[in-house]
Amino acid sequence: MMGTDTSRDGLKRAAAEAAVALVEDGMAVGLGTGSTATFAIEALIRRVKEGLSITAIPTSERSARQARDGGIELVDFASQARLDLTIDGADQVALGTLDLIKGMGGALLREKIVAAASDRLVIVVDETKVAHRLSLPIPVEIVEFGWHATARAIAALGGKPALRQAKDAPYRTDGGNLIVDCAFGTIEEPGELDRQLRDIVGVVETGLFVGRAERVLVADAAGVRELCVERGRP
């Protein structure tokens, strides 16, 4: 239970701390990106200072900086083939399937690489992120060269791509790519749309995370509840 803090940040913190309670000594952990992931890293730092021994791979430079400054040992995939557990947030979660839209924090490519290398992906959200079907605009990471042509190909699938901006210039990911946020309305078949988008030349990755989350921890005013789907282990 989460006590008396029912603010948006309080809900995120409660879900994050419930996820961090799943981390065991000796684990290799993936660290997500975004406001909820920040709370999870904060809780992990506290546990490390209390004696927990873990290694971690972050999904963004800002998550790496927070973890490193807090004393978490960072590794990479050259030395760590698989991760035991990744804790991350999501922009929207579909009930039943636990399919996700991610990428508002701009780290969707690294987040998907880390999720694919994890035995378990645990997502932490507040109640506002849960929906019966995915419907938010999908962040799509694209290369800069020919991005107008890439955006037109996305539009041909029925989307409405908008180039993400940061101040007075296009937003750039840690990998130096652009992001277009693509509105498709209610998404009936996320897996098929993900495949169609990734087939477009110039698309690096999409923010559709289909069939990857094993567990979603949802915080609301009553506490933290758990949504689960059985996934095959590698």
HSE-up of residue 136 (Cα within 13 Å, Cβ side)? 24
Q: Which secondary structure element, helix H or strand E, spans residue 92, and what is its range?
A: strand 92-94
Q: Does the annotation mark 111 as catalytic?
A: yes
The active-site residue, picked from 17, 111, 141, 214, is 111
Helix, strand, coil shares, percent, the chain, to 5: 30, 30, 45
Q: For the chain, first and last CA: distance in Å?
A: 33
φ, ψ at 203 (rounded to 5°):
-80, 125
Rounded distance between C-alpha atoms, residue 148 and residue 165, angstroms: 15
**Partners of 60 in the beta sheet?**
none
Dist CA 43 CA 41 (whole Å): 5
Are 88 and 105 spatial neighbours (Cβ–Cβ below 8 Å)?
A: no
Q: Which residues are catalytic?
A: 111
